[in-house]
Structures are given as structure tokens and as C-alpha cells.
């Protein structure tokens, strides 16, 4: 059920059209850090979590990524508390396909009845009739992919899901998935210091799929004192994380970084990264920094 690449397109350097009909600003917000330690339970400061979400929307963020497993459900419920009724242009993406037994513990589970149950719960917790982008959080290796995506396709046909995406997948898995359902996005680990998903990004670019890098601000040794990212940040009077986000936005027009934070001050710093335009020389210097 592969769709032609031209059915989805970028609109301006600052926006991307998810599925061809949901334009979003390319710098979004990831809501995982709104929970307690280990992505488990309530946050230490629930009021600050609400302020972060409201401030994100005030600053123009209109793409928020969450999951049923963040909390579990704490993140979705905070989004509802802070932002419902939602602005017309706000796109909320969520996921299911991982169960939680405690802090920092994650187990893939893709049984069709479980995915359906979690979609219904996410609809209730978010307070919506249809989820804009629903992502299979992990492919369950114990079950055929057709069973997992087939249930999401049924939910899409029932009007409960608008678009379907994937998380942490290979190019081969994306191709298999697109034989079953129309896939509009992939969400893989990718940042300036870890570009192991480069081939998936190339695929997303070629097919005009949104590429949503998780853990986007990780910089590792690149931000060490005197390192390439540290030096570039000082020249720019910016933070290393801001330049890391600016690099991602420059890297590809299909890139939708979703930096997360539980503090308004950090949020404001992250959003400012969208205003930084790297020169060709700066971009190349940072791109080559892994081999430096």
C-alpha cells in the first residue's frame, strides 16, 4: 500500500506536512520527560509540566510527541490537562507497543487486542476522537508484522487513527510495513553524536516520510571543553544543545526533532534553536566532527 513519494511534501524550510495534510513546525516537543524518574509515575513538579506544555504552544510549537507508556499515561493526561481544548493546528502524536513493569523497564507487546485497547485508552486520556499520528512504538518480534499493523489499519479505517508511523525500525521493516499500510513517519535514535540510522534517514528523504529523531540533543564527547561543538557554540554565543538541534534542522527537510524537557527555561532555549541558521562551513564542520 505504498503511496507515491510526491503525495507528501515539505512546504517551507520551517514546516513539514505530515501525511500531506498536517503541516507542522519542524521543531516539535517530546513529552517523555514530563514524567517521574525512569519515565515512571508523576513528575516532581506537575505544575511546571503544565507550564512547559502551555509555553511550548505559546512559542509556536504545534507538534507534540508522546506515548501511552510514558508514565504510563501520565504524559498524555498532562497534555490533556494543559492544552485541552486543543488549538486547531496542534498535532499530537502518540504510540503503543511497549509495556512497562517499572522505571526504565520496557517490553515490546504488539498483540492486536492490546494495541486496540491502548488506542482506545489514548483517545480517552488525550480527549480526542481521532489520533493525528499513531506510531507502533516497537515491532514485537514474536508476532507477524501484518497482525500488528493490520490492527492499526483497522483502527484507521474506523476513524480512530489519522496517520500511522513506526518507531526504531530498519529500512527493510519500513518496506514491509508499507506493503500493509500507508506509513507517513519513522522515529529512530539519531543525533549529532549518533548517526547510526543514516540509511533510514536517506530512505525517509527519498520517500518524503517524516523522520523524527529521538534523543536529538545528545552530543557526547563532541561538547567536551575545546571540542568542535563546544567551540562552535562559543563562537555563536549559543549552547551546544542549541547548535545540535540547529544542525538537525539543517541536515534534512524531513527532519522533525522533538527535544524534551521538564523546565520552561530549557524549553525556551531549545525553541530558540529554530532561529539559528548554520553556515555551510559550520554545518560541514559539525558534520565532520565525529571523525575529528
| Cβ contacts of 260 within 8 Å, gap of 6 or more | 29, 30, 31, 32, 33, 34
Predicted confidence (pLDDT) per residue in 135-165, tens digit: 999 999 999 999 999 999 999 999 999 999 9
> Does 70 participate in catalysis according to the annotation?
yes
- pLDDT-based confidence at residue 13 (cuts at 50, 70, 90): low
- Judge whether 87 and 116 are in contact, CB under 8 Å: no
Catalytic residue among 70, 86, 190, 203: 70
| CATH code linked to domain 5-220+251-261 | 3.20.20.100
Predicted confidence (pLDDT) per residue in 204-245, tens digit: 999 999 999 999 988 877 888 888 899 999 999 999 999 999
Please give the backbone phi and psi of residue 180, each rounded to the nearest 5 degrees, phi first: -105, -45
| Cβ contacts of 237 within 8 Å, gap of 6 or more | none
Predicted confidence (pLDDT) per residue in 22-69, tens digit: 999 999 999 999 999 999 999 999 999 999 999 999 999 999 999 999
* Cα–Cα distance measured from residue 149 to residue 194, given in angstroms and rounded to the nearest whole number: 28
**Cell numbers standing for residue 258:** 522533538
Cβ-based neighbour number of residue 90 at 10 Å: 18
To which residue does cell 522505571 refer? Answer: 103
Amino acid at each position: 500500500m505504498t503511496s507515491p513519494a510526491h503525495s507528501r511534501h515539505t512546504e517551507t524550510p520551517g514546516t513539514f506536512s505530515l501525511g500531506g495534510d498536517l503541516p507542522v513546525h519542524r521543531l516539535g516537543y517530546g513529552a517523555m520527560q514530563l514524567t517521574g524518574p525512569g519515565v515512571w509515575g508523576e513528575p516532581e513538579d506537575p505544575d511546571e509540566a503544565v507550564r512547559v506544555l502551555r509555553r511550548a504552544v505559546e512559542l509556536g510549537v504545534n507538534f507534540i510527541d508522546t506515548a501511552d507508556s510514558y508514565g504510563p499515561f501520565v504524559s498524555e493526561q498532562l497534555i490533556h490537562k494543559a492544552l485541552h481544548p486543543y488549538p486547531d493546528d496542534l498535532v499530537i502524536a502518540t504510540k503503543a507497543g511497549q509495556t512497562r513493569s517499572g522505571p526504565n523497564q520496557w517490553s515490546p507487546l504488539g498483540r492486536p487486542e492490546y494495541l486496540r485497547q491502548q488506542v482506545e485508552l489514548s483517545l480517552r486520556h488525550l480527549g480526542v476522537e481521532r489520533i493525528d499520528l499513531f506510531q507502533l512504538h516497537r515491532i514485537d518480534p514474536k508476532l507477524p508484522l501484518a497482525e500488528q499493523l493490520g490492527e492499526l489499519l483497522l483502527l484507521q479505517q474506523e476513524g480512530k487513527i489519522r496517520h500511522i508511523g513506526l518507531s526504531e525500525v530498519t529500512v527493510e521493516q519500513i518496506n514491509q510495513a508499507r506493503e500493509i499500510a500507508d506509513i507517513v513517519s519513522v522515529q529512530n535514535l539519531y543525533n549529532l553524536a549518533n548517526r547510526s540510522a543514516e540509511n533510514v534517514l536517506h530512505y525517509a528523504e527519498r520517500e518524503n516520510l517524516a523522520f523524527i529523531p529521538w534523543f536529538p540533543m545528545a552530543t557526547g564527547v563532541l561538547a567536551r571543553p575545546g571540542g568542535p561543538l563546544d567551540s562552535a557554540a562559543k563562537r555563536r554565543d549559543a549552547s551546544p544543545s542549541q547548535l545540535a538541534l540547529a544542525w538537525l534542522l539543517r541536515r534534512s527537510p524531513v527532519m522533525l526533532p522533538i527535544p524534551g524537557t521538564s523546565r520552561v527555561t530549557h524549553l525556551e532555549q531549545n525553541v530558540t534553536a529554530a532561529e539559528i541558521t548554520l553556515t555551510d562551513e559550520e554545518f560541514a564542520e559539525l558534520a565532520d566532527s565525529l571523525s575529528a
